[in-house]
Each structure stands twice: as C-alpha cells, then as structure tokens.
Homo-oligomer: A and B are copies of this chain.
C-alpha cells in the first residue's frame, strides 16, 4: 500500500511537469482571453492605481503609496514570494505651477501653457526673461552665430513627423530636442529653453519628459509648450521680436529610498530559467500615468494572477517586476540587473510592456547574449501560430528600457507592441488618464502577454 502511494505521487508529479500539448495550449489560451475580457482585472486595478493613488513620480509620496498597494495586492495572489527590492531614486519636484508669458512688440502679454521638463533646474523665484530664437533642430542651433544665441531663450519647434508609419519612430525623430536640446543650447550661452511638446495631437496639453543634464556646464531651465501654444509663439516670431518670461520653481532634491516590486512563481522543471514580465511603476507627475506605464504594470500583475487562478504550474520560474524610476533615471532597471548578475541569474526571456494599454499587434524581439535571433524566431514560429487567431505575431526588433540592462544574461528581449495611433496624444501629459484607457484593449494586452509567457514557459526559445 505504501509502495502504491509512492508510485501514485511520482506519477502525479511527472504529470504536473509534462509539456502541454499544443491542442491543450490552444484551449488554455482561449480561456485566458475569455477570462481577461470578461473579468477586466487589469482595468479594475488600473482604476484603483490611477484614481485612488494617482501619478507616481520617483521619490514622491504617491509612488510610495503605489508600491505599498502593489505589494499588498500581489500578496493576495498566492505567489511563491513577493518582495521589495530597495533602490535609491532621484527626487525631482515640479514646485509651483509653471508660468510662461509671451511679450510681443506691440506690448501684448499672453500666457502660454507649459510644463517644466523632468530634471530641469528652476528659474529662481523671480523667473527669467529674454528674447526668443526659434530653431528646428540642434544642428540648426549649432550653425548659428554666438550672438544669435547668447543670453537668449531657445525655442525648439520641430514637430513629430505625422507621415511616419509608427508614432514611436516619429517620437524618436523629434525627441532629441527635449533630451539633449537644453544642454546644446546652454553650451551656446542660452539662458533657457522651450520646446514644442512631443505630441501627435494639436491641443492645449503640454507634454513633459526627461531632459539630460550636463555635469560640465550650468544647466538651464527648460519647459515644453503645448502644441497649440508652440504655433502661437512661432506665429508671433514671424511678425517680429518676441520675449518670453519663464518661471518654474522645480528642483532636484536628495535621493530617496524606493523599491522595485517583485513577485515570483518558482518553476517546476527548470527553476533556474527565469521568464520576466514587467513594466515601470513610476510615472510623470501630470496626468495619472495610465498608459505610461500603469497599463504595462497591470498587464504584468495579471499574467501571474491569471496563471495562478488557473492552477497553472510553470515549468520555468515566472517573475513579475514593477520597476521604479524609468522616467527620470532608470535606477530601478539598473539595480535589478546588478542584483540579478550578482546572483548569477539567467533569463530565458525578459518581456516588457511599456507602450500603452492599446490593442496588442505584435511582440518585438531582439537577442540577448544567450540566444541567436534566427534560431529563436524559427523555434518560436513553431508555436506562435497559436496566437494567430488573436492577430498577434512576432516581429524583429524590440525590448524595453527597464529590461535593457539585463541583456548580458538574457536569451530573448521582448517588447509588446500595441497599436500606437493614440499613444503620443496622451504620453507624459494631463491626458494620460484612466478615461483614455479602453477596458477591452487593456484586457487584450494582458491576455496576449499571459499567452506568450505560457508558450515560452512550455516550449522554450530553442536555445
């Protein structure tokens, strides 16, 4: 009798660890989708995160509340472990509402809608005032004579190219004005910078975002104008000389202790092969960080939640990671990678969702140090047909900022690519709110991510 019990236990244990047949995986994925659409779990969590907590800039009290909430929520899932990984983060504060006044030759004064760029220094209590010089690029700035720039406020006004197929490409083609424009202008003796907001829409909401500081020269106050007010300023400049008055009390304070939030289910067959799915938990301090990247974090939480709820026993170790400080420092992703390397961890796949809560179209893949892209894509094409009914495919090229530092210990780097039509209408502005996330679109992302994790967990990447 004792012998029969032992055999029975072994049999059960072997069964639990057997690879799923593709037919079973197809049924399982269909149920995952049905549950995600019906229960809308990511959407309900996102409502709590955005409406009860709100935006979550690194180092802010809100970010601490959000971290506490996420840990408490993940504690209820039945994960093998949930922990906070400490990391020091920058603590930039916006201060009082920014003021930008436009003075034209005829004596008119007009207020323009603007927000300080993240990490920018303030103007001091009294603000600054100077003549404006408009340029369309850093190259154009560099070719101008010193006297045209020195003591002036530089206005970078190149729009995102609407003709680009991907709005991320259009963003990439204009973002240097925000990231490196202020230092380039400071190097030429400018005293301040305003940029046209990086946005696909023409409206009154300015879009913030990080500017890169110099440790060589004195950094200058930098703000983004709404796209409508960029047009107003440019039109005024066509008529003659324009001065701007800028006032922002933003400042960088001392670093603050914060955390990455991590939840894990141990793998049964290959516990040392980790599949990471994550997003970044910090957001800018305007709007609610609903698409960027509340959606990606709720997606990632739903992956492990949904699998446990369906009694799924992973073959590999699954880890959900909410990274802190992607927006203005990448300290969370950097520290996570440092600890992972210290622990000699290996990631068969690192997957990031940080392109909004829209309908997923594909997963963009690039290679880590441990895999060949061709071999992996060819192996994965053997099971990605299971996602064809959901209009999801693999594409070349992709990853994510938070997982980028893990590359030396990763097989495949994967970024989820949702429909990008609307992302930059909202991105980093007061329009990035819960109301602009659609429950079915968000659910489709959670289901697609969960399904991909199941497929990689079951069938690997062919390494």
Contact = CB atoms under 8 A, between A and B. Distances in A.
Interface in A369-412: 389-391
A362 B361 CA distance: 12
A241 interface: no
Interface in A189-236: 200
Interface stretch (A31-39, A72-80, A454-462): A31-39
Contacts of A389: 165
Contacts of A37: 162-165
Interface in A155-183: 162-165, 167
A438 interface: yes
B361 A391 contact: yes
Given A38-B162, A165-B33, A359 B440 contact: no
A444 interface: yes
Contacts of A269: none
A390 B164 CA distance: 11
A422 interface: yes
Contacts of A440: 162, 167, 200, 421-422
A441 interface: yes
A272 interface: no
A440 B200 CA distance: 9
A438 B38 CA distance: 26
Interface in A4-60: 33-35, 37-38
Nearest to A420: B440
A345 interface: no
Interface string A61-102: 000000000000000000000000000000000000000000
Nearest to A444: B421
A38 B161 CA distance: 8
Contacts of A362: 391
Interface string A307-324: 000000000000000000
A27 to B, nearest CB: 14
Contacts of A430: none
A162 B43 CA distance: 14
A131 interface: no
A164 B443 CA distance: 12
Given A35-B163, A361-B361, 7 more contacts: A33-B163, A165-B389, A359-B421, A362-B391, A419-B419, A421-B440, A422-B438
27 contacts: A33-B165, A34-B163, A34-B165, A37-B162, A37-B163, A37-B164, A37-B165, A38-B162, A38-B163, A162-B440, A165-B390, A167-B440, A200-B440, A359-B359, A359-B419, A359-B421, A361-B361, A361-B391, A419-B419, A419-B441, A421-B438, A421-B440, A421-B441, A421-B444, A422-B438, A422-B440, A422-B441
